[in-house]
Amino acid sequence: MPEPRWRRQFNDLKTRRPELAERVCRKLLVDMQRQGLVDFDALDEEVALALRLHEERRGVDPNRPKPRITPESRVELYRLALEYAARYLEPEEISSVILLTEKRQLAFEVSRMAEDADTPLEALRAKIVEFLSFAPADTVAPRADVIGTRAALVRRLMTDQLDFIAVAKKFVRIRDFQYVLDHMIPTAGNQGRIGGKAAGLMLARSILIRAARQGRFEGEFSIPESFFLPSNGILEFIELNGLEEIINLKYGTMEEIREEFPLVERLFKSGTFPPIVRQGLRDMLERIGEKPLVVRSSSLLEDRIGHAFSGKYKSLFIANRGTIERRLKELEDAISEVYASIFHPDPIEYRRDRGLLDFQEQMGILIQVVVGKEYSDLLLPAFAGVAFSRCEMRWSPRIRRTDGMARLVLGLGTRAVDRTGSDFPVLVALEQPTLRAVQQPTEIFRYSQRTVDVVDLKRGCFEALDLEKLMGRIAKEFPMKREIFSIYRDGQIMPLWGVLRKQDIPDLVVSFDGLLESPFPAKLKNILDLLEEGLGEPVDIEFAHDGENFFLLQCRALSLASSARRVPVPRDIPPEDRVFSADRFVQMAQLEDLEYIVLVDPRDYEKLPTAEAMRRVAAGVGAVNRALPARRFILMGPGRWGSRGDIRLGVPVSYSDICHTSLLIEVARMKGNYRPDVSFGTHFFQDLVEAKIAYLPLYPDEEQNIWNEEILNCSPSVLADILPEYADLEQVLRVIHIPEVAEGKLLHIIMDGESDEALAFLVPQRKNRNTGGYDEF
């Protein structure tokens, strides 16, 4: 009679792993005892008889120790376990126990190797492959073993943040870590992690894959081909180039950090990479080929639950064309510049405000192939954008906070992320996609995208091209024209029907009307809802679409403060005590006992003769931000705070220049017959939401709104008293000390998002007022 399959499996296991064969026998005994098939006391008797042992029967005297189990006894016990298993159990049951025992051991070994920081990553990868390859169709490791293994891998490769681990272990499968290790750039050490941005992307991918398996997500999605340079790479770079003294630069004053950063960046960009990293980057480039790349920061603190670090570190596009040596040099230059951004004043200020300065920040690098297709030596996606599961910046009282929001652009998504020049993305409330921020045809045309970011493959560089010129080159090949474009003609916006004719190109408007009437907004909202549910926090994502496929580029959780309760705007404030009012895009917030108003009036700012003078105003704003007591002032300025392109549109500040204000106001003064754009929902304003800084746009030229000229424009400024070195800006940058100009009164602001009203007004000081600055009443 042929030997049963389970017996061959057991003998093979006994030869390879004798300790696991013993574990199989123990498991069989326990299973049979639970089923009442064997009795341990009876087995003891059989063992004693077989070995001719003459000790007293076990259990006769409860006060005496039980007989010792000799090695021979254990061997006989295991022999009997197999004999009884063959008698009472089905062959498939025995085989299952054998396979499961080895599968569980492999899970334990993966966990143990992951917990050992000295385990080479290649050895860890090999063990994961062994685990995944072992009897995949015949046995499944217990859930507890799988969850424990996942948690160990998350700690080793992603983060030690407990909140993140608690979520990731539920979604990120062991096979997902094989993908990470298959795409890891080697370093000399084994301790690095892929960082927050890369970890957030992998977690989001796993959440959506699980939702698809459950039938809760029907759409298709991908992530770009991605590679990971782990976080210890920056420490090896710093050590190799003798830059250790820079690590403690973060403990200096903000002025010192600002002064030294240009040199720090130059030192990093002139540095060299360790040989093992250089070879890994070279191998990656040969594997990818000549495809444009984006080099993204992925620090250990970045995109963690509760700390998004949005826009703090650099992400850079490179063309990746030419010889391998040229491509490697270009890539190393980009990585070194991203490394240097860890010492920029903005992230240091952000960390300082949140008590994270003492954390040893390390920078991982996420390298991704740029999403897009080639058209006449240009590469670009059909469209790209950013999307938020919560709509914090509303342009209509009909929009709910839970509607979600997206910013859509033609081409690369840079213009959706950053405010660039005078261009405008299309803003979409995802559950009400036809409720546009602008409604009139003339406004739609005026506030439409006119410049498109692309990669010029022939010149090997990143380019911003005029829409008309771009479409003149690629209109015939370009996809999704009906979904993206409309025609502006005779003062009307019309759909693009039929073939796009050459004479229609000058009249093209990037409206996304066709896309917004398709299932796409609902699909995008579904993605956001699934990610918010999985992470347990509101999220924002970056995405791109190449005309055929949707790509998820980034996902982060945003820990948002709960909304303030509603306080109606008071109706009995004397006219002379009313400072300003607003009646659109109002959040729910209340602020009290404010002492200062910092005002850059658009009418004064636009008269400045040079860009240098405008940048000096930005420097002055930053100095005032540092000099005034935190959360005791509001900041008011023209149109688009933080403008990075055309700085005539707004003061070119960074987050660290405005981080101590309690309210940021954008003043939109009429220019001729149109109203300037304000900044809805950009990454810059996610900083405000996280920091609990309220935001409000003002339209003072509209008749129903209040603008108290006497207080705001005629009151004396104390700028020269606070910062004498900026006294020359006193006519542009006004610092109004409210108690001095209002008989000791202070400023209160009520913002009622439900009625879409806001009012700032003066009140007498209270004897025991709260000096904290921000209050929710």
- Contact yes or no for 247/340 (Cβ under 8 A): no
How far is the C-alpha of 554 from the C-alpha of 541, rounded, in Å? Answer: 5
Q: Specify the pLDDT at position 390.
A: 85
Provide the pLDDT confidence category of residue 458 given band limits of 50, 70 and 90: confident
Provide the pLDDT confidence category of residue 172 given band limits of 50, 70 and 90: very high
For 642, residues 6+ apart whose C-beta sits below 8 A from its C-beta are 419, 650, 651, 652, 653, 654, 655, 679, 684
Pairing assessment for the beta strands 663-667 and 694-698 based on DSSP bridges: parallel
Closest by Cα among 350, 262, 360 to 309: 350
How far is the C-alpha of 418 from the C-alpha of 686, rounded, in Å? Answer: 12
Secondary structure percentages of the chain, helix, strand, coil, to 5: 40, 20, 40
Token pair for 202: 């992998």
Task: For the chain, state the CA radius of gyration.
Answer: 32
Q: What is the mean pLDDT of the chain?
A: 88
**Sequence-distant contacts of 144-149: CB under 8 A, at least 24 apart:** 145/104, 145/107, 145/108, 146/107, 146/174, 148/107, 148/111, 149/107, 149/108, 149/110, 149/111, 149/114, 149/174
- Which pLDDT tens digit goes with each residue over 547-564? 999 999 999 887 544 445
Q: Specify the pLDDT at position 310.
A: 61
How far is the C-alpha of 772 from the C-alpha of 777, rounded, in Å? Answer: 12
Higher pLDDT: 627 or 300? It is 627
Provide the pLDDT confidence category of residue 228 given band limits of 50, 70 and 90: very high
How far is the C-alpha of 540 from the C-alpha of 413, rounded, in Å? Answer: 14
How far is the C-alpha of 259 from the C-alpha of 636, rounded, in Å? Answer: 27
- Which pLDDT tens digit goes with each residue over 703-721? 999 999 999 999 999 999 9
| Average pLDDT value for residue range 332-340 | 96
**Sequence-distant contacts of 319-325: CB under 8 A, at least 24 apart:** 319/292, 319/455, 319/456, 319/457, 319/459, 319/460, 319/461, 319/462, 320/285, 320/288, 320/290, 320/291, 320/292, 320/293, 321/290, 321/292, 321/457, 321/460, 322/290, 322/460, 324/282, 324/285, 324/286
Strand segments, DSSP code E, in 583-649 are 589-594, 596-600, 633-638
At 544, the amino acid letter reads A
- Which pLDDT tens digit goes with each residue over 372-396? 999 989 999 999 999 999 886 676 7
Task: Give the DSSP H/E element, type plus range, for residue 542.
Answer: strand 539-545
At 121, the amino acid letter reads L
- Contact yes or no for 557/197 (Cβ under 8 A): no
Least confident of 267-271, 291-295, 588-592: 588-592
- Contact yes or no for 748/761 (Cβ under 8 A): yes
- Contact yes or no for 729/617 (Cβ under 8 A): yes
Provide the pLDDT confidence category of residue 56 given band limits of 50, 70 and 90: very low
Token pair for 681: 């929902």
Burial 670-703 (b: 16+ CB within 10 A, else e): eeeeebbbbbbbbbbbbbbbbbebbbbbbbbeee
Q: What is the DSSP letter of 96?
A: H
Residue 592 confidence (pLDDT) above 60: yes
Provide the pLDDT confidence category of residue 105 given band limits of 50, 70 and 90: very high
**Sequence-distant contacts of 457-464: CB under 8 A, at least 24 apart:** 457/292, 457/319, 457/321, 457/374, 457/377, 457/378, 457/379, 458/377, 459/319, 460/319, 460/321, 460/322, 461/319, 462/317, 462/319, 463/378, 464/420
Closest by Cα among 658, 660, 703, 709 to 679: 658
Q: Specify the pLDDT at position 327.
A: 95
Q: Which 3 state secondary structure label does DSSP give 333?
A: helix
**CB atoms inside a 10 Å sphere around CB 494:** 14
Provide the pLDDT confidence category of residue 61 given band limits of 50, 70 and 90: low
Task: Give the DSSP H/E element, type plus range, for residue 367.
Answer: strand 363-369
Residue 68 confidence (pLDDT) above 70: no
Q: Specify the pLDDT at position 137.
A: 81
Burial 746-759 (b: 16+ CB within 10 A, else e): bbbbbbbbeebbbb
Provide the pLDDT confidence category of residue 772 given band limits of 50, 70 and 90: very low
Please give the torsion angle defined by the CA atoms of residues 631, 636, 637 and 642, in that order, rounded to the nearest 10 degrees.
30
Provide the pLDDT confidence category of residue 773 given band limits of 50, 70 and 90: very low
List the end-to-end C-alpha distance of the chain, in Å, as a whole number.
86
Closest by Cα among 363, 384, 307, 353 to 194: 363
> Could you tell me the CA-to-CA distances from 23 to 13, 81, 280, 755 in Å, in that order?
11, 11, 42, 69
Least confident of 144-148, 452-456, 685-689: 685-689
Closest by Cα among 359, 360, 343 to 257: 343
Provide the pLDDT confidence category of residue 676 given band limits of 50, 70 and 90: low
- Which pLDDT tens digit goes with each residue over 532-551? 999 998 899 999 999 999 99
- Contact yes or no for 129/123 (Cβ under 8 A): no
* C-alpha 545 chain-centroid distance: 19
- Contact yes or no for 303/196 (Cβ under 8 A): yes
Residue 66 confidence (pLDDT) above 70: no
∠ CA 673-674-678 to the nearest 5 degrees?
155
| Average pLDDT value for residue range 52-81 | 67
Higher pLDDT: 59 or 320? It is 320
- Contact yes or no for 706/578 (Cβ under 8 A): yes
How far is the C-alpha of 419 from the C-alpha of 654, rounded, in Å? Answer: 12
Q: Which 3 state secondary structure label does DSSP give 633?
A: strand
